[in-house]
Structure 1
Amino acid sequence: MKRNFMMAALTGTALVATSALAEDATLTVESWRNDDLTLWQDKIIPAFEATHPGIKIKFSPSAPTEYNAVLNSKLDAGSAGDLITCRPFDASLALYEAGHLAALDDMTAMGNFSDVAKSAWQTDDGSASFCVPMASVIHGFIYNKDAFAELGLDVPTTEDEFFAALETIKEDGNYIPMAMGTNDQWEAATMGYNNIGPNYWKGEEGRKALIAGEQKLTEEQWVAPYATLAKWADYLGDGFEAQTYPDSQNLFTLGRAAIYPAGSWEISGFNAQADFEMGAFKPPVRAAGDTCYISDHTDIGIGMNASTAHPEAAKAFLSWVASPEFAEIFGNALPGFFPLSNAPVELEDPLAKEFVSWRGECESTIRSTYQILSRGTPNLENETWGASAAAIKGTETPEALAEELQSGLASWYEPQQ
């Protein structure tokens, strides 16, 4: 009887311990993606918890504009969540260097990602990775299929075909050939310069050479994209200089423009707003037969708070984020945000499928200014905004713009001196 009592006591203790463990393994996720709350609550969390009993997930986002400040404050106070959603490059690198993010290189699941995918969340020398890549966005052009059919246009694959199509649309007069303004500047760089530019500087080859100081911004492959952007001005419609980003979105989705220089993040919004069929084409190559390059830009990752009380549970979740199951859920719930794992994902949205198909046809790279080169003053990313807008408006020559950018970069970045 005494033995039975002891066994019951031990069993009761085990139950309490199991219950306590389940409570202890509630992991909080910090994120700026507050518009993803429903996705996490309805799809991501139930899918993970179904196969990981005892680990509970709580998604706790902040407003995007407040995320960095809120997160840093929580980390300093020791109150941040167990899992940290990571912005690409320097913001997350600073968290790792401050000891707030744990290195994840011992996780087998990190082998599911390419070097390009991991580059946004690594130390400069690539010796440590501190966030699991979640998704990227891809650059290209979205077009109005009805307008193309009406005008008998084929999808352009070379720059000559691209400008011939723009000229045809302009001559017809029923559509603005291309919807983009220069008022907000960033679009000119993001959907302009860093959209078409990789075909000039050969993607990762040129980007890495710039970081190493082996190429300069005054060389032809970095100057020529500005000359091409200058040719866009004839096709952007009247008053493009004062046109904002939302203006451009509206012109396209209302059917008034035939082509939209795009990031794939537009897909969900455009699907909801446009009442015509859309297609997408990759940045046209300079000449037929050239290798194509796409900006497949690392956008979002997730890491582990180095101070979490539940490192094993946190790593279990991060390993799952690296799985095909997560990739399929995330890729289809947020079309245009493409999973970065090497596992093939069957996407349902036709526009998203078109964008992601380019990974099999072209070499992938990331935006040229995002890694290392925008840490100093002047900030190369912000300077590229202004330069791209100026190129389109024709207020400065491509050569003069390149000289200014190179001078600014060389003023603080030693490999370029």
Structure 2
Amino acid sequence: MRRFRVQGYVSVVLSLLLVLAGCSGGSGSTPSASDQSGGQTASPGSSGGGGSGGGTGGEKVTVSMHSWRVEDTEGYKKIIAAFEKENPNIKIEFKPFKATEYNTILNTALQSESGPDILQLRPYAPGVSLAEAGHLEPLDNLPGIQNFPKDVLAAATAKDGKVYGVPLSLNSTQIYYNKKLFEQHGLKEPSSWDELISTAKTLKEKGIVPFAFGAKEGWLLSLSHGVIAPGTYNGNGFVEKIVKGEADFKSPEFLKSIQRMKELVPYFPDNFVGLDLNDTRTMFFTEKAAMFINGSFELEGIQKMNPDLALDFFPMPTEDGKKVLTTWVDGSYAVNSKAKHKQEALKFLEFMATQQFGELFANEFKRISAIPGVKTSDPLVNKMAELSASSSTPYLMVVYFAEGKPTTKQTLENDLQGMYLEKMTPEQVVEDVQNSAASWFPGFKK
């Protein structure tokens, strides 16, 4: 297997004082456009964020930029202002969409050749498929792109070997918890699955919702499973086997991970099947629930919503007595191959590959920048970075199983929803996920 080497990269970044960074939203269908030409990389300016930049004959040009991160709007205003200050003839118009609607809106626009100049790519297969459909400009000659490690660029590298996106961040996903509630009831971070269940039972007996959890949005279920599952299969050893085709999803370890997802049901809120991210996030930051399974990309929002929250997190305890943090390279930004203002769009992406952008991004959003050498002072960000370096495992469904029609990731999400609605058993979920992967995954076709 081409091992997920972000651990080594993060170690390097840590030595320079890392910073934290995703997604998260669900993955959707990708287009199969008739135009298969990738195009040639235009030669962007070499000034990074500086220089006069922008516009033909001094005219001001407005570059459209789309994203699925509505919650990042205010932060991007500050970042974009720094670019526009040094490039007064270029105006960046940041327009985000609801995460669950973004894929459909973007695909429709690209197919009708009315897409934005700059677009945010989902990581790995969903984003790469846009390049393979001819919608993206190759970025191999973009100044600064060579500074990213190859394993980080892999999240936006197509089968033709070309890079089509500037990576934003490294994400982790873990269990956040309310330290005040834990301390009030004599609880500590669990070091095993049994301790986690015991902690949840104690909280429930005290009238506190143990987990802020909802099953309305499928992507939250695969993300939560991405936290729970490595505890049953002890992280990377199983990942290596399954990617090589030496194990499959019908293995006892994977089945146990689905069973554990069901075992948690008594500790979820009432009517959890109808709750979405906003519901569960609110439940956690208003201190009505003690724990919250989610990504590093939620950290900044939670802290803003309740600056007084005694917030911490813990990685997943494994069967062999260790702990593991699930990690992956988050989305990147790409240039539309049919962009109206391609040169100006490339200039902004050149800025996104600089230390200046990395530091603005990391400090504004409290996430690990994908750019080496970026610094932050947030202790939780540093804790996530340290664990990412020492105890990480890849988010299996995003990094390796986000292909198929529907994708194997989507199949898992749909089936977990079915399980929570009492329409499927864990055994049926496992069977369905394996059948999905076997229909396309090379490791299962030997």
Q: TM-score interval w.r.t. the shorter chain? A: 0.7 to 0.9
Match 2:390 to one of 355, 361, 379: 361
Aligned pairs, number: 391
Whether 1:266 aligns to 2:301 is: no
300, 307, 310: which is aligned to 2:331? 300
- Decide whether the 8 Å contact of 2:166 with 2:352 is kept in 1: yes
1:122-271 aligned at under 5 Å gives the runs: 122-124=157-159, 127-171=161-205, 173-191=206-224, 193-201=225-233, 206-207=238-239, 209-241=241-273, 243-271=275-303
Measure the CA separation in 1 of the matches of 2:314 and 2:202: 17
TM-score, normalised on structure 1? 0.79
Match of 1:410 in 2: 438
The answer to whether structure 1 residue 373 and structure 2 residue 401 are counterparts is: yes
Shift of 1:355: 3.2
1:87 is matched with 122
How do 1:103-114 residues align onto structure 2 when only pairs under 5 Å count?
103-107=138-142, 109-114=144-149
Distance 1:392 1:355, change over 3 A: farther
Distance 1:251 1:45, change over 3 A: closer
In structure 2, the residue matched to 1:39 is 75
Q: 1:75 to 1:35 in 2, by over 3 A?
A: same
Alpha carbons of 1:312 and 1:63: their partners in 2 closer, same or farther (altered >3 Å)?
closer
- Aligned partner letter, 2:165: C
CA contact under 8 A between 1:182 and 1:240: conserved in structure 2? yes
Matched, 1:318 2:360: no
CA distance in 2 between counterparts of 1:104 and 1:25 reads: 21
CA contact (8 A) 1:138 1:295 kept: yes
Q: Separation in 2 of the partners of 1:99 and 1:324?
A: 30
Partner SS, residue 177 of structure 2: strand
Secondary structure, aligned partner of 2:144 = helix
Aligned partner of 1:346 in structure 2 is 376
Q: Are residues 1:282 and 2:311 paired?
A: no
Check 1:378–1:69 CA distance in 2 against 1; reply closer, same or farther (3 A cut). closer
**How much does 1:413 deviate?**
4.6
Equivalent residues of 1:27, 1:314 under 8 A apart: yes
Which sections of structure 1, spanning at least 5 residues, go unmatched?
A: 1-16
Aligned-partner Cα distance in 2 for 1:238–1:257: 12
Structure 1 equivalent of residue 42 of structure 2? none
Q: Measure the CA separation in 2 of the matches of 1:148 and 1:100.
A: 50
Going from structure 1 to structure 2, the CA distance change for 1:219 and 1:258 (only over 3 Å counts) comes to: same
Give the AA of the match of 1:97: E
- C-alpha distance in structure 2 between counterparts of 1:95 and 1:153, whole Å: 47
In structure 1, C-alpha distance between the alignment counterparts of 2:377 and 2:184, rounded to whole Å: 29
Rounded Cα–Cα distance in structure 2 between residues aligned with 1:158 and 1:245: 26
TM-superposed deviation, 1:233: 2.5
Structure 1 counterpart of 2:136: 101
| CA shift digits 1:190-247 (9 cap, x unpaired) | 22x1112234456566456545534311123322212322331232255545555444
SS in 1 for 2:333: strand
Distance across 1 between alignment mates of 2:214 and 2:61: 49
8 Å contact from structure 2 (residues 233, 319) kept in 1:
no
Deviation at 1:132, TM superposition (A): 0.6
Instruction: Give, in whole Å, the separation in 2 of the partners of 1:250 and 1:181.
Output: 12
Report Cα offsets for 1:242-299 as digits up to 9, x if no partner. 55544433332332221122223333443344453221112223232x3x43222333
Q: Which has the higher contact order (CA 8 A, sep 6+)?
A: 2
Q: Residues of 2 paired with 1:113 and 1:18: CA distance?
A: 25
Task: Find the aligned partners of 2:233 and 2:254 in 1 and give their Cα distance.
Answer: 6
3-state secondary structure, aligned to 1:230: helix
Q: Name the CA distance, whole Å, in 1 between partners of 2:260 and 2:368.
A: 28
- Gaps in structure 2 of 5+ consecutive residues: 1-52
Q: Which has the higher helix share?
A: 1
* Deviates most, 17-26 or 176-185: 17-26
What corresponds to 1:9 in structure 2? none
Distance 1:157 1:328, change over 3 A: farther
Shift of 1:326: 1.2
Alpha-carbon distance in 1 for matches of 2:403, 2:236: 19
Q: Contact 1:179 / 1:260 at 8 angstroms: preserved in 2?
A: yes
SS in 2 for 1:370: helix
Contact conserved, 1:30 with 1:84, CA < 8 A, in 2? Answer: yes
1:152 maps to amino acid: G
